[in-house]
Structure 1
Amino acid sequence: MSSRQAQCSCGQLKVTCQGDPVRVSVCHCLACQKRTGSPFGQQARWSAENVTFEGTSTAFVRTGDSGGTITYRFCPSCGSTVYYEIDKMPGLVAVPVGAFADPSFPGPIISVYEARKHAWVAVPETIEHMD
């Protein structure tokens, strides 16, 4: 089984993910834009049983548009978000794709919150699209 490791900018906080992600997505919501400092966030999700954690994290809990909570885990030293959990998706761990620093990482299969997508951002036509 293949594994991938994501880490923060300083390397103190790491996650190792076994196997293929169950979903890779792009999110254009305003919260992801603020969290990433980018016009969108891209994340991959794994079953929690396939993810191991190393290092110390600090948590930030945000309430989403649907009323559910998202617990972001980030490095207390450099501030990089390395993983998060969504209460409405128990048993899954999401990892920002950029934390893998791997240009060969698989592309998204779905693009969400497209109503908030920047006009210049192009996503593949072949994936699922949601407003």
Structure 2
Amino acid sequence: MISGGCRCGATRYTLAVDVIPPVYCCHCLDCQSWSGSAFSEQAVVRTDALSITGPAIDYLYQTRSDAESHQRLCGVCHTRIYNTNTARPGIALLRAGTLDASDKVVPRAHIWVKRKQPWVSIADDVPTFDANAPPAEFIAILMGARS
């Protein structure tokens, strides 16, 4: 079981998985704004593997492509925990920094690197994409043997 939670500890979650799920980093301007940082780290999980307890707010965001993105935040400290999107049913994007074992996260890919801050360095052996990755290739990378 993998666990994590918000900054204040009021909202916690568990993942019904044995290992940290695959993580990627996104450097797009939306992720920079949402995270207040240079990029976001997102763990890809099945929604049925995620259980959340404590106060959670569901913030609905309408995407440019007209999909609904539901952002789940702690109801106390407003840490963004995860989001789901009608364009990706059954999948949640968990903020990897909220994992209790966030120090064990190793990103498998970086997307939107054309918007990457110039001081961010990415290891040479990690796949990068100027914008969104081609879906089939991205899934293969995330589900591959990289750790």
Work out whether the TM-score is over 0.5.
Answer: yes
2:99 corresponds to which residue?
Answer: 100
CA positional deviation for 1:65: 4.7
For residues 64 and 92 of structure 1, do their structure 2 counterparts lie closer, same or farther at Cα, with a shift above 3 Å needed?
same
Question: How do residues 1-131 of structure 1 correspond to structure 2 at under 5 angstroms?
Answer: 3-19=1-17, 20-131=19-130
State which drifts further: 81-90 or 102-111. 102-111
As a proportion of its length, which structure holds more helix? Answer: 2
Name the one with the larger strand percent.
Answer: 1
Could you tell me which residue of structure 1 aligns to residue 139 of structure 2?
A: none
**In angstroms, what is the RMSD of aligned CA positions?**
1.7
User: What is the number of residues matched between the two proteins?
Assistant: 129
Change (3 A) 1:54 1:98: same
Report how far residue 66 of structure 1 moved: 4.1
Per the TM alignment, residue 57 of structure 1 is displaced from its structure 2 partner at its CA by 1.0
Equivalent residues of 1:14, 1:82 under 8 A apart: no
TM-score by length of 2: 0.78
Give the drift of 1:72. Answer: 0.8
The TM-score with structure 1 as length reference comes to 0.87
By how many angstroms is 1:21 displaced? 4.9
